[in-house]
Structure 1
């Protein structure tokens, strides 16, 4: 049994805390001011962590080093990660699709691109899964010049998108593509330096640290000067990381779930270093610390997500003409 939180339940939790039972929810303004109020709602924003809480998380993580993933299994998981995601989508195809309604709050530029007068815009969802970002944008579209492409390295995920009743080939396209492919191949339907907005939501964490540099090279090839990368993923000390037990640690802050899929937990500085080392500039980065509350069971669950916007410099045509 998976000791951590599955990718599927992650999507459900994010959706429920943004809108969920407390709809309408004004994100970012529900602050816990007194401990005796904690059970009044199912989620609290911007929860500060004390030294004691950080130490407790670090202590649990340190224990994971006593029983890491054996070398044989590590090679198995790292040799063909797309296979495990393919199995994941095969086993969970009945549980999709879940609309990420919080996108309208967090990344409004995605929906500005769907307005009738938005003009030519290319949106590229990397790691599309079953289309949890792709379809909400497509369903809102009134822009005759919008092009939106969804890509995933798991063929079954792409098949789920293509066979959906919501798929509209007039504006949308779906293709199999590995962000970290070492050949530097471009995704089908995407030309070099053509992407206005790239969406990376809970996808970069599936890559091993050794793949980060290649992924940046491939991103650089497709991003238009001035184009933006919208990013959201797991943060260090998130509940999912702390929950891992024996035989799940691949390397520092990098794990394998019970279903064979991999996940990394980032810090702000790591993301800053990865994206700005060679190509991109940081427009915005922050840590979303949330306290989720199960009022029925009287449980507290601390989630940590990182959210960022990076941009391809507008003067990058001459400087990066490869």
Structure 2
């Protein structure tokens, strides 16, 4: 099994503050007392074992003539996913506001006016877009938290089935939220709001599902819709996460990019890749963290090493004249 050392404790032995939790394993004998431990740093031995497993499961690639379907038919695979799982696969993301307090307007901000909007949410003082909303596991915690603030949420997915699940949800309220089908890889597709109109763009486990060669273009295009001072909130799969190491040979499309048995795809990011992705779009780093945890199955006495990336990047304000 992978070895580990717990780091990030300060010299006084105190626990690190949030973000990314504060449950620190100080005694390895206590490992099965909780389901999750935060702020875990792997040893070099552990990193090398992960690299070897990744090299092994990447050694046999899907033939190039077969790879195209995972890109061109991606919508079909995700529609099938939501048709099969409905809204039962993912849980509501109750951690959102702890890690991303930027989702909540600062101060009352004023109510949206009663004028007729030329686009949904036009008169809202604070606007959020979630890209890749799925069945609404981020949308509805946000919607239920912004009531009476005048804020407005847009959410999109390129699976029409997922968007329909959002619209059919009992908490869907057109005065607070607008759900729409969108392929964010489409370079000429229009959005239901103008450039420079969004305060927050939320990207949670969505960029990893896109072909790595397309991701920079997606971030570049999305950044055009942020107001100066607006922020990207990003969370996604990290390099050498357990789910990457578990892939069998023959599922690899390209370096660190795989297809699952249902045809959906996933990429595993590094901290440096995330920084390049957003800084190349002209954004300023606010936070760029590697979230390493131990996840425990206490019943089966199994220890699993998880890695996620969590980042915040801001569109810089124009320089004063």
Fold equivalence (TM over 0.5):
yes
Query: What SS does structure 1 have at the residue aligned with 2:224?
Result: helix
CA distance in 1, matches of 2:319, 2:282: 8
Higher percent of residues as helix: 1
Q: Which moved more, 1:269-278 or 1:61-70?
A: 61-70
**Structure 1 residue ranges without an equivalent (≥5):** 1-24
1:96 is displaced (CA, Å) by: 5.5
Question: How far apart in 2 are the matches of 1:88 and 1:64?
Answer: 24
Larger radius of gyration: 2
Aligned to 1:304: 307
Distance 1:143-1:279 versus aligned 2 partners, 3 A rule: farther
Match of 2:229 among 223, 226, 231: 226
Cα distance, 1:142–1:76 mapped onto 2, change above 3 Å: closer
**TM-score, with normalisation over the residues of structure 2?**
0.86
Deviation at 1:278, TM superposition (A): 3.3
Moved over 6 A (4+): none
The RMSD of aligned alpha carbons is 2.1
The match for 2:184 is 179
Q: Contact 1:176 / 1:187 at 8 angstroms: preserved in 2?
A: no
Residue aligned with 2:39, SS:
coil
Deviation at 1:27, TM superposition (A): 5.9
* 8 Å contact from structure 1 (residues 148, 172) kept in 2: yes
Among 40, 58, 61, the alignment partner of 1:65 is 58
1:150-189 equivalence runs, <5 A: 150-183=155-188, 185-188=189-192
**1:141 aligned to 2:134?**
no
Distance 1:79-1:194 versus aligned 2 partners, 3 A rule? same
Aligned counterpart for 1:284 among listed residues 284, 287, 310: 287
Which residue of structure 2 lines up, in the alignment, with residue 214 of structure 1? 217
TM-score when scaled to structure 1? 0.85
**Cα distance change on mapping 1:191 and 1:178 into 2, 3 Å:** same
Of the structure 1 ranges 224-233 and 270-279, higher mean CA displacement relative to structure 2 is found in 270-279
Residue 267 (structure 2) pairs with residue 264 (structure 1): yes
CA contact (8 A) 2:20 2:39 kept: no
Aligned length: 291
Runs of 5+ in structure 2 lacking a partner? 1-17, 112-124
